[in-house]
Structures are given as structure tokens and as C-alpha cells.
């Protein structure tokens, strides 16, 4: 009988010790905020365009962390969806067409002759990529423009257009080789006698 009591006593003592350690660790190493939100935010393209229905990338990251769909980001496209699916261990889904189509990278361009200097686009730009002052001509810093489209709507004289970013010699890269249509996977001798 004694031996049972000793065992219970020893286990109780151990439980107390480990409980104390765990309790201490829970307080000492408490993580502020939700780290998964930061990780999701890191993957999102940071255009701050609001096409997902949230007022910026971070709010959408928070929404995803709370269980919203991961396919609402047209600027990120399928690549972002796949990376998010990978991170969150979900099945990648196609982009939700309701929020827009995946398109080539664009940047805003102000037709400067038509600009009246109203500063409305400057206020709309989420990344401060438009330069100008009241009654002065405005211009877009194209290197900083995320192509979010948000400056086009407020312009009273419609002098802002979205221009696709041209591929130059310096941004060009090789394309992946196209698989041979219908012939891929065949061994060379299989093609004998066929007109190639």
C-alpha cells in the first residue's frame, strides 16, 4: 500500500514541477499578436488595392487568418494563392473572378498636360507614389507604383491611365521550353517511320 502512495506522491510532485515550468513558460514566452498574420501578410503582394474587399493587405491577411478564402487577391494571382495554400496547408483554389482578373503588371501614368493639380490622386495613393502639390502638375514615381488602380477613379479630368510595364532587355528572361505537343514522353525510336 505504501508503495502506491509513494508512486502517487512522486507523480504529483513531478506534475507540480512540470506544471510550474509550463506555467512560467506560458507567461515568459507569450507571443504578442498572431504570427500567422505576419506570415500571410509577407506573401501578399502589398499593392494595397483593396480588390479583396478589405482596406489593404494586412486586413486581408487578418481575415485569412480568421478563415476567409485565400483566392481573393488578383494582383498576387495564382502564385500567391499557391504559396498561401502551401503555408496554410490548404488546397489551392483558382482565383475568385468576383474580385478581378489576374493581369500583367501595370503602373499608373499621369498625362501631365491634362493634370489640373487637384491633389485628389495623391490622397488616394496608398504608397505615396504620386508627386505633386495643389495647382502643380503631378507625376507618378513609377518604380514605387504598385498598380493598385486607386488613383484612376478620383481624378476629375480622367488624366490617369494604367499602362502595362514593358519588358525590356534588362527585365527579359528565357521562357520555359514548351513541351512537344503529342510527342512528349515518347522514346526516339517510337517515332521511326513517322513523318516528323
Partner 1 sequence: MNAIAKSPHQDIQSPVAGSQVIASSERKIWPLTGGVHPEENKHQSTSCPVSVPPLPETLVLPLSQHAGLPADPLIRVGDKVLKGQMIAKASGFVSAALHAPTSGTITAIENRPIPHASGFYDLCIILAADGQEQWCQLAPVTDYRQLSPAELVEKVRDAGISGMGGAGFPTAIKLAPGTAINTLILNGTECEPYITADDMLMREKADAVIEGAEILQYMLGAQECLIGIEDNKPEAIAAMRRAAAGKNIDIVVFPAIYPSGGEKQLIQILTAQEVPSGKLPADLGMVVQNVGTAVAVKEAIVDGKPLISRITTLTGDALTAPQNVEALIGTLAQDLLQYAALKASELSTLVFGGPMMGFSVDRMDIPVIKTSNCLIAATEDEFPAAPDAQACIRCGHCAEACPSSLLPQQLYWHARAENHEQLMHHNLFDCIECGACSFVCPSSIPLVQYYRASKGAIRTQEAKHAKSERSKQRYEDRLARLAQEKAEKEAKRKANAERAAKLKAAKTAEKTGSDAKAEEDPIQAAIARAKARKAAAAGASESTSAGQAPSASDRPLSAKQKELKVQLSMAKAQAKKTERALAAAEASAELKGDRGDIEQLKSNLAMLHEQVSKLQQAFDEKAQDSASKNNPEKPAKAPLSDEAKKLKIESAMANAAVKKLQRAIASAGEDELDTLKQQLVTAEQKAAEMKQALEGLS
**Least distance (Å) from partner 1 to the CB of residue 171?**
8
Which string of x and - marks every residue 176-195 that binds partner 1 (by CB under 8 A)? Answer: xx-xx--xxxxxx--x----
**Least distance (Å) from partner 1 to the CB of residue 96?**
20
Which of 27, 113, 175, 194 binds partner 1 (CB under 8 A)? It is 175
Q: Is the Cβ of residue 57 or residue 155 nearer to partner 1 in the bound state?
A: 57
The C-alpha cell of 48 is what?
494595397
**Least distance (Å) from partner 1 to the CB of residue 175?**
6
Return the SS3 of 188.
helix
Which of 95, 129, 150, 151 binds partner 1 (CB under 8 A)? It is 129
Q: Using CB under 8 A, which of the segments 13-21, 23-31, 41-49, 95-103 binds partner 1?
A: 41-49
If binding is defined by CB under 8 A, does position 29 make contact with partner 1?
no
Which of 29, 135, 172, 195 binds partner 1 (CB under 8 A)? It is 172
Total binding residues toward partner 1, as defined by CB under 8 A: 36
Q: Report long-range pairs for 114-117 (Cβ below 8 Å, ≥24 apart).
A: 114/157, 114/158, 114/159, 115/157, 115/159, 116/156, 116/157, 116/159
Listed in sequence order, the DSSP H helices in the chain are 2-28, 35-43, 57-65, 77-88, 120-124
Cα dist from 191 to 39, 179, 183, 188, 194, whole Å: 50, 16, 9, 6, 6
**Least distance (Å) from partner 1 to the CB of residue 179?**
8
Asked if 99 contacts 52 with a C-beta cutoff of 8 angstroms, the reply is yes
Residues 56-115 interacting with partner 1 (rule: CB under 8 A): 56-57, 79
**Least distance (Å) from partner 1 to the CB of residue 161?**
20
Q: Is the Cβ of residue 57 or residue 159 nearer to partner 1 in the bound state?
A: 57
CA distance 132 to 196: 61
CA distance 102 to 96: 10
HSE-CB of 32 using CA atoms within 13 angstroms:
0
**Site residues (vs partner 1, CB under 8 A):** 41, 44-48, 56-57, 79, 126-129, 144, 146, 167-177, 179-180, 183-188, 191, 196
Amino acid at each position: 500500500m505504501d508503495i502506491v502512495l509513494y508512486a502517487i506522491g512522486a507523480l504529483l510532485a513531478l506534475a507540480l514541477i512540470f506544471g510550474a515550468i509550463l506555467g512560467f513558460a506560458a507567461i515568459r514566452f507569450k507571443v504578442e499578436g498572431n504570427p500567422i498574420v505576419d506570415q500571410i501578410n509577407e506573401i501578399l503582394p502589398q499593392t494595397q488595392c483593396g480588390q479583396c474587399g478589405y482596406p489593404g493587405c494586412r486586413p486581408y491577411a487578418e481575415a485569412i487568418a480568421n478563415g476567409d478564402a485565400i483566392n481573393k487577391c488578383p494582383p498576387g494571382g495564382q502564385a500567391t494563392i499557391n504559396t498561401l495554400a502551401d503555408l496554410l496547408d490548404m488546397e489551392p483554389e483558382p482565383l475568385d473572378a468576383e474580385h478581378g482578373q489576374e493581369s500583367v503588371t501595370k503602373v499608373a501614368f499621369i498625362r501631365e498636360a491634362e493634370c489640373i493639380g487637384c491633389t485628389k490622386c495623391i490622397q488616394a495613393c496608398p504608397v505615396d507614389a504620386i508627386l505633386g502639390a495643389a495647382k502643380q502638375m503631378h507625376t507618378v514615381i513609377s518604380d514605387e507604383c504598385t498598380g493598385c488602380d486607386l488613383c484612376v477613379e478620383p481624378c476629375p479630368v480622367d488624366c490617369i491611365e494604367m499602362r502595362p510595364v514593358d519588358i525590356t532587355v534588362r527585365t527579359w528572361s528565357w521562357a520555359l521550353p514548351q513541351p512537344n505537343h503529342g510527342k512528349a514522353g515518347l522514346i526516339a525510336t517510337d517515332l521511326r517511320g513517322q513523318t516528323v
